[in-house]
Amino acid sequence: VPREVTRSPEEFLDLLVEQRVTVLSQTPSAFRSLVSAAASGDERIDRLALRSVVFAGEKLEFGELRPWVQRLGLDRPALVNMYGIT
Protein backbone atom coordinates (compact mmCIF):
# COMPACT_ATOMS: atom_id res chain seq x y z
CA VAL A 1 0.00 0.00 0.00
CA PRO A 2 1.55 3.31 -1.02
CA ARG A 3 2.41 5.53 1.96
CA GLU A 4 0.20 8.37 0.71
CA VAL A 5 -2.79 6.00 0.57
CA THR A 6 -2.19 4.92 4.17
CA ARG A 7 -2.38 8.57 5.19
CA SER A 8 -5.66 9.26 3.36
CA PRO A 9 -8.77 7.64 4.89
CA GLU A 10 -10.71 8.22 1.66
CA GLU A 11 -8.08 6.62 -0.57
CA PHE A 12 -7.52 3.77 1.89
CA LEU A 13 -11.22 2.91 1.92
CA ASP A 14 -11.29 3.06 -1.89
CA LEU A 15 -8.32 0.67 -2.01
CA LEU A 16 -9.99 -1.80 0.36
CA VAL A 17 -13.12 -1.83 -1.80
CA GLU A 18 -11.35 -1.93 -5.19
CA GLN A 19 -8.87 -4.66 -4.21
CA ARG A 20 -11.55 -6.70 -2.39
CA VAL A 21 -9.36 -7.03 0.70
CA THR A 22 -10.61 -9.86 2.91
CA VAL A 23 -8.30 -9.69 5.95
CA LEU A 24 -7.19 -6.39 7.48
CA SER A 25 -4.74 -6.04 10.37
CA GLN A 26 -4.70 -2.58 11.92
CA THR A 27 -4.20 -0.70 15.12
CA PRO A 28 -7.47 0.45 16.65
CA SER A 29 -6.55 4.09 16.02
CA ALA A 30 -5.95 3.41 12.32
CA PHE A 31 -9.35 1.68 12.13
CA ARG A 32 -11.12 4.79 13.43
CA SER A 33 -11.39 6.22 9.91
CA LEU A 34 -13.42 3.17 8.86
CA VAL A 35 -15.58 3.49 11.98
CA SER A 36 -16.19 7.13 11.04
CA ALA A 37 -17.14 6.10 7.49
CA ALA A 38 -19.61 3.57 8.90
CA ALA A 39 -21.08 6.18 11.23
CA SER A 40 -21.49 8.73 8.44
CA GLY A 41 -23.39 6.31 6.20
CA ASP A 42 -20.63 6.01 3.60
CA GLU A 43 -21.96 3.48 1.06
CA ARG A 44 -18.46 2.11 0.38
CA ILE A 45 -18.57 0.39 3.78
CA ASP A 46 -21.33 -1.88 2.45
CA ARG A 47 -19.12 -2.88 -0.50
CA LEU A 48 -16.20 -4.08 1.63
CA ALA A 49 -15.22 -7.73 1.14
CA LEU A 50 -13.65 -7.97 4.60
CA ARG A 51 -14.01 -11.30 6.38
CA SER A 52 -11.79 -10.41 9.36
CA VAL A 53 -10.33 -7.34 11.00
CA VAL A 54 -7.46 -8.10 13.36
CA PHE A 55 -6.61 -5.44 15.94
CA ALA A 56 -3.10 -5.33 17.40
CA GLY A 57 -0.41 -2.95 18.51
CA GLU A 58 -2.45 -0.99 21.06
CA LYS A 59 -5.37 -1.37 23.41
CA LEU A 60 -8.77 -1.67 21.77
CA GLU A 61 -11.48 0.45 23.37
CA PHE A 62 -14.60 -1.51 22.52
CA GLY A 63 -16.88 1.52 22.88
CA GLU A 64 -15.11 3.19 19.95
CA LEU A 65 -16.42 0.41 17.68
CA ARG A 66 -20.08 1.15 18.49
CA PRO A 67 -20.89 2.91 15.14
CA TRP A 68 -19.27 0.04 13.21
CA VAL A 69 -21.10 -2.64 15.20
CA GLN A 70 -24.43 -0.82 14.92
CA ARG A 71 -24.06 -0.76 11.15
CA LEU A 72 -22.35 -4.09 10.42
CA GLY A 73 -22.57 -6.22 13.56
CA LEU A 74 -19.75 -8.30 15.02
CA ASP A 75 -19.60 -11.05 12.42
CA ARG A 76 -19.45 -9.15 9.13
CA PRO A 77 -16.49 -9.01 9.26
CA ALA A 78 -15.29 -10.84 12.35
CA LEU A 79 -13.53 -8.44 14.70
CA VAL A 80 -10.52 -10.07 16.39
CA ASN A 81 -8.66 -8.42 19.26
CA MET A 82 -5.07 -9.71 19.30
CA TYR A 83 -3.65 -7.10 21.66
CA GLY A 84 -2.12 -8.38 24.86
CA ILE A 85 0.41 -10.85 26.08
CA THR A 86 1.80 -13.03 23.30
The CATH number given to whatever domain includes residue 68 is 3.40.50.980
Task: Please report the pLDDT score of residue 75 as a whole number.
Answer: 82
Are 51 and 78 in contact, with CB atoms under 8 Å apart?
yes
The DSSP-derived string for 9-69 is HHHHHHHHHHTT--EEEE-HHHHHHHHHHHHHT-GGGGG---SEEEE-SS---GGGGHHHH
The answer to the question of residue 64 being in a domain is yes
The answer to the question of residue 12 being in a domain is yes
The count of domains in the chain is 1
According to DSSP, residue 79 is labeled: E
**pTM, entire model:** 0.89
Q: At 26, which amino acid appears?
A: Q
The answer to the question of residue 86 being in a domain is no
Instruction: Decide: helix, strand or coil at residue 86.
Output: coil
Task: Please report the pLDDT score of residue 83 as a whole number.
Answer: 87
Query: How far apart are the C-alpha atoms of 15 and 62, rounded to whole Å?
Result: 25
Q: Which domain holds residue 74?
A: 3-81
Task: Please report the pLDDT score of residue 84 as a whole number.
Answer: 76
* Local confidence pLDDT in tens for the 86 residues of the chain: 899 999 999 999 999 999 999 999 999 999 999 999 999 999 999 999 999 999 999 999 999 999 999 999 888 899 999 987 65
